[in-house]
Amino acid sequence: MDKSKTVFLVASVVFALTTILGLVGYLSTSTEVEKYKTESDTIVSQAVGAAKLTQKEEDTAHFFEEAKKPYAEYVGPSDFGSIRFNYPKTWSVYNSQLSQTGYEVVFYPGIVPTVSDTTVMSLRLAVVGKQYETALSEYEALVAKGQLRATVVNVGQTDDFAGYEGIRFDGAINETLLEGTIVILKLRDKTILIRSDAAQFALDFDDIILPSFRYLE
C-alpha cells in the first residue's frame, strides 16, 4: 500500500472515531439535558402547585376573616353591668341561663350546639353570683395542679383607658377542653367570666372580644 493510501486510511479511521465519539457524547449530553429538563419541569410543577395551594388557603382564610366584618355588638342586661363588646357577625348567640343572681350567654359560628360544660364554644360570657376571690380560688386550684397558667391582664385597655384588671387562665379547662382561656373580672359583689374553649378561637378572643370589652363597674 502506497504512502498516500495509508494516510487516507488513517485519516478516515480517525474521522470515523471522532464522529462516533462525538455522537456518543451528544447522545449522552442530550440524555442528561432531557433528564435535567424532566426533573426541572417536575420541580417547577410541584412548586407551582404548592404555591397555588398556599394562595388558596390564604384566600380562604382571608375570606372567612372578612366575612366576620362588620362586627356585631353584644349588649348585656343593665342589672349586670351592661356588658358590651364586639364579636364576629358570623357567630350565633344563645342565652343559656338567666336568674336573679347572674346569667350566661354562649356564642358559636353558625348554629349553636347543645350547651354543656364540655361542648366547645367560641365564647361564653357569664356573670355569676360569687365574690371575685371565691371565683379565682376555684381556678387557682387547677393552676396548682399544672392544668392552667395564670397571668394578670388589663381587659379593654387603650391609650386613654387603663382597662379592667383581672386574671387570665390558659390551658385545660377540663378533661375535654384542653386549650381554653378564661378571664375573670370583678363586678361589684359578682364576678364576670369570659371564656373561649379552643385554640381555633384564640385570635377572635384576643383581637376582637377583649379589646372591645366594656361594662359598668
User: Would you list the domain boundaries of the chain?
Assistant: 1-67, 72-212
pLDDT bucket at 9, cuts 50 / 70 / 90? low
Which pLDDT does position 161 carry in this prediction?
95
Q: What is the CATH number of domain 72-212?
A: 3.40.1000
pLDDT > 60? residue 14 = no
pLDDT bucket at 77, cuts 50 / 70 / 90? very high
pLDDT > 90? residue 129 = yes
Mean of per-residue pLDDT scores for the chain: 85
**What mean pLDDT do residues 142-155 have?**
96
Which pLDDT does position 172 carry in this prediction?
96
% pLDDT > 90, the chain? 66
Which pLDDT does position 10 carry in this prediction?
47
pLDDT tens string 117-127? 999 999 999 99
pLDDT > 70? residue 19 = no
**What mean pLDDT do residues 139-143 have?**
92
pTM of the full structure: 0.72
Label each residue of the chain as H, E or C: CCHHHHHHHHHHHHHHHHHHHHHHHHHHHHHHHHHHHHHHHHHHHHHHHHHHHHHHHHHHHHHHHHHCCCCEEEECCHHHCCCEEEECCCEEEEEEEECCCCEEEEEEECCCCCCCCCCCCCEEEEEECCCHHHHHHHHHHHHHCCCEEEEEEEECCCCCCCCEEEEEEEECCCCCCCCEEEEEEEECCEEEEEEECCHHHHHHHHHHHHHHCECCC
215 or 57, greater pLDDT: 215
77 or 58, greater pLDDT: 77
pLDDT tens string 159-190? 999 999 999 999 999 989 999 999 999 999 99
